[in-house]
A and B are shown apart, each in its own frame.
Chain A
Amino acid sequence: MMAKDFAALWPLVFPAVGACFLPLASLDREHDTAKWIRGVLYLVTLLALGGSFFYLADLWHVGGQPSFEALRMDRLAQFSGIFITVAAAITVLQAWDHFHQEGWVKAETLSLLLFSVTGMMLFTATSNLLLMFLGLELLSLPLYALVGTVRTRPEASEGAMKYFLTGAVASSCFLMGTVLLYGLTGTLDLSRAMASSAGSDPLFLAGAALLLLGFLFKTSAVPFHQWTPDAYQASPHPIAGFMSVATKGAAFVALLRAFPGALSLGAAGPKAQQAFAVLAVLTLVLGNLTALVQTDAKRMLAYSSISHAGYLLLGFVAGTPAAYTGILYYLAIYLAMNLGAFGLFTAYGLVGEDTSYDALRGLGWKRPLLGLYAAIFMLSLAGIPPFGGFFGKYLIFKELVGTGHTSLAVLGVLASLVSLAYYLRFLVALFLQAPTEALERRRAEQPAAPAALASASLFVAAFIVVMGGLAQGLLIPGFAQRAIEEGLKLVR
């Protein structure tokens, strides 16, 4: 077997190897690891992610599409690999600051993160159902632990437990769907299974639906969203950002592999499209309206991330290659703006549970540059031009209108109007509400720990959001469109 046969494996090998060795460095049970050792651990993590990133970037540049049995590192997988490693790297930068603020720096966190990254890549790089399931589990299990990683906080384990229980149900649904499809069609390959003649069998439909449920749980689409706010609020800020971006992104890319096949099912195709339309509408309405009444900024961001799943699902309803391109572009921008939004908590040095709007009062003027980033992230999340978030919605709404779903586009537009209200609320708290005296006193007594790396990561995120708006001409055709064109070819 030649070395190039393993080419498809390399992107997974870097994070996996890193993940295996990192915990060795922190065997001490006391919290007395020297700071330089911690620094080295974080650096190793970044190197593992960087190795994977640059390898993928090189593959993209060369245009190679290596495969290893059922594992195919095609354009779509390369796109998602780059997406996941960038998200993880930003998370690692923010985690350094956040865990120091919390006083809980552990190498196991990094190891878990890298395992999860490996799982996500596997999940998105195959259409073999068993491998997908492996990837799904490999990405989920470390995340359950990551939610509760700060063990000193009681709510952390509660959130982790909730996430684990609901996640386990979703995983078993996925497995059950796999079993049904395999039993009916005799193949584990998703695209072949979907294209088989068993399309109208009710058992087949049940299997496909169970499979879909597994995906939708990870995208936190309504009605599989209940875990989201609790899990996000319990987890450390950077981890919440990572889950909201990378998990959702990986699930959507995997769905992109599965769903275009499902559309060609014949009898089941329109049904699947209707199901997506209903889910998208529910997700948009519920996610946005619930976000509107939150009093906690982090919970608001959790519900807002649910509502963003709704916009992305609308792209599936349109179901054209251009809409899929829009989904990928949306994901890329969503990565920057949502990790940026969650990163604000770290950059402002908010520790523990207090992430209410009231805790944010008056912070906008304290550090003007962070305030500027906050405005960029919030307005982009709301889809206001000229930021990248607008173009994500533009691409999806355009295809919706083009395929005759004008009423859904109107609903999406109204939903983003509602979302504007709660994103503005965030800015109102930052810039307009004067801090209470008690808050001033607390800030004076416990000055926020410096967060240089988190601020730097916010700069990167803001840069992506702004450039995504101003230079989307480079990003869309060169990146998202090619990923879709060459990724979908393999499915068909």
Chain B
Amino acid sequence: MTTWMSTHLLSFLVFSPGAAGLALLAFPERQARLAKLLGLLVAIALFGVSLRALSLTPDASGWLFLEHRPWFSVAGLPVDYRLGLDGLNLWLALLTALLVPVTMLATWSSLAKREGTFAGLLLLLETGVLGALLSQDMLFFYLFWEGMLIPTTFMIWIWGGEDRRYAGTKYFLYLASGSLLWLVGLLYLAGQAGSFSPELMAQAAAGLSLHAQGWLFLAFVLAFAIKFPIFPVHTWMPDAYSQAPVAAVPVGMLVKLGGYGFLRFVIPILPAAAARHSHVLAVLAVVAILFGSLVALVQRDMKKLVAYSSLAHMGFVLLGLASLSVIGVQGALLQLVNLGVSTTALFLMIGMLERRAGTTMIADFGGVASRMPVLTGFWLLAAMASIGLPLTNGFVGEFLILNGTFTSGFAWGRVAACLATLGVLLGAAYLLWMTKRVFWGAENADPDGGTAKLAQDLTARELAALLPLAALILWIGVHPRTFLAPSDRPVAQLLSDAQAPAPAAPALGTAAGSAPLSEVHE
């Protein structure tokens, strides 16, 4: 049976949240509760619809679903309306659809004002993120990529802390600077290729001089690096995360795109440059891991600690991508999903503590476990996942990345893997130390401190928000095949394509090749 939905599933998923979000923004303030409720229902319904993607089977060229028609064309440079779902973005898209209702539930009663606006902006952001995840045309992608800055900036501005104006403006300017310069590179390449389709761009790029490819690579990487964020261009992140705890989750939804965009566009379009400069990326990744972990170790604010820990985790993702081996890239892709699950859970729980206690300073807490045992249980699980304990999702991701890096064909592979392993140790140190100080030990006796104000454990809504995340942490940890299987073929395909036009590059992924990953886990 052919219905409109069965031929336009992706268009529906991408644009209906935005339409609903715009409608919610027009609700007057006194009907905010109604708007919030409607927003939640829409978000849950959309997640339900998005699950249809699981029943799809890939066609000959790997697409689970593809919508493609010409959009507009000026002076011979066509821009296409092209949305595609394949193994690379399947789980990221589903996770995005899940995180929206989860965020709404978890922040249900922690927003002091304009709850309807928050729901509206979150749905608009869902359009932006899903659109960017599914776009298969570079300019179309760019529209979503840049457009999603608008709702997130407003989230930081409206629900942020004292420095929210500074944090929001800095965030917008920082991220826009990267993508605007990237636009110039994109226009140059599109002019060479006569199209914005990644395939034609890759062909055009292969014909350019190595010098020109290097500049393009710089423009591409800068845009993704800022969103990632990678070490020297990360300074927007601690501000944005610590100023806006409710915005931390939405912003987290969008940083995944840094890694995804790198995998989807940089490696296929500029494979030779990626191979030539991968050692730079690896150095940056290792620096991010160690720098992020060390800085996290000395934080006194839980929000900042988790923010820096996510910097370290993004370093792992970059390391996996830079290894250009099947195992490493698979691990990076899985680690993006993991971050969406476990870091989100940590941020949500910090938000729950903040709503009750009014503070997020570690020193204000102590002995939380006796007052909020259920929250503590969830916290332990998420923290273990973040550290990378076996049987949780973090272990699988980090193991694959380190494995892929160690066995990659690059000379730096082993050194980088060894140094990055130090990051795992440090990760355990800062998270466990913080957990000990906040949740265990003597109760903070200060009546104005945080612990004294924790009267109530998790509400049903908060529980509903955390349960799916906890289930995912265990599911990915115990049976990662579910999540790795769809991307097996696309990743291998992508890397072997990338290898073909650059015979001069070092042998990529020799150790991994196309060896099935199943032996690692099963």
Contacts and interface: CB of A to CB of B under 8 A. Distances in A.
B187 A325 contact: no
Contact of B157 (A399, A414, A428): A428
A413 B72 contact: no
Nearest to B71: A473
A401 B142 contact: no
A398 B181 CA distance: 13
B190 interface: yes
A379 interface: yes
A67 interface: no
B146 interface: yes
A410 B176 contact: no
Nearest to A413: B180
A379 to B, nearest CB: 6
Contacts of B190: 398
B112 interface: no
B26 A417 contact: no
A285 interface: no
A416 B177 CA distance: 9
B456 interface: no
A379 B146 CA distance: 11
Interface in A433-482: 433, 472-473, 476-477, 481
Contact of A379 (B28, B150, B169, B173): B150
B520 to A, nearest CB: 41
Interface string B160-193: 0000110001001100110011011001101100
B270 to A, nearest CB: 17
A424 B181 CA distance: 19
Interface in A377-430: 379, 384-386, 390, 394-395, 397-399, 401-402, 406, 409-410, 413-414, 416-417, 420-421, 424, 428
Contacts of B172: 420, 424
A477 B72 contact: yes
A368 interface: yes
Q: Size band of the B side of the interface?
A: 35 or more
Nearest to B128: A386
A165 interface: no
A322 interface: yes
A101 to B, nearest CB: 25
Contacts of B158: 431-432
B196 to A, nearest CB: 11
Nearest to B145: A385
A275 interface: no
B74 A409 contact: no
Indicate the member of B73, B142, B146 with the most A CB atoms within 10 Å: B146
Given A368-B26, A398-B191, A322 B75 contact: yes
Contacts of B180: 413-414, 416-417
Contacts of A428: 157, 165, 169
B26 A369 contact: yes
Contacts of B72: 472-473, 476-477
Contact of B74 (A325, A379, A397, A433): A325
Given A384-B147, A413-B181, A416-B180, A398 B26 contact: no
Contacts of A410: 181, 184
A372 interface: yes
Indicate the member of B73, B74, B149, B173 with the most A CB atoms within 10 Å: B74
Contact of A413 (B25, B71, B143, B183): B183
Nearest to A402: B191
A66 interface: no
A385 B143 contact: yes
A125 to B, nearest CB: 26
Contact of B28 (A368, A397, A477): A368
A368 B31 CA distance: 13
B77 interface: yes
A476 B79 CA distance: 13
A384 B176 contact: yes
Contact of B149 (A384, A433, A477): A384
Contact of B184 (A379, A385, A397, A433): A397
Interface of A: 320-322, 325-326, 365, 368-369, 372, 375, 379, 384-386, 390, 394-395, 397-399, 401-402, 406, 409-410, 413-414, 416-417, 420-421, 424, 428, 431-433, 472-473, 476-477, 481
Those 7 A-B pairs whose CB atoms lie nearest each other, nearest first: A473-B72, A322-B75, A385-B143, A413-B180, A402-B191, A401-B187, A398-B187
24 contacts: A321-B75, A322-B75, A325-B75, A368-B26, A385-B147, A390-B143, A390-B146, A394-B139, A397-B187, A398-B74, A399-B75, A401-B187, A401-B191, A402-B191, A414-B180, A420-B176, A421-B173, A424-B173, A428-B157, A431-B157, A431-B158, A432-B158, A433-B165, A477-B74
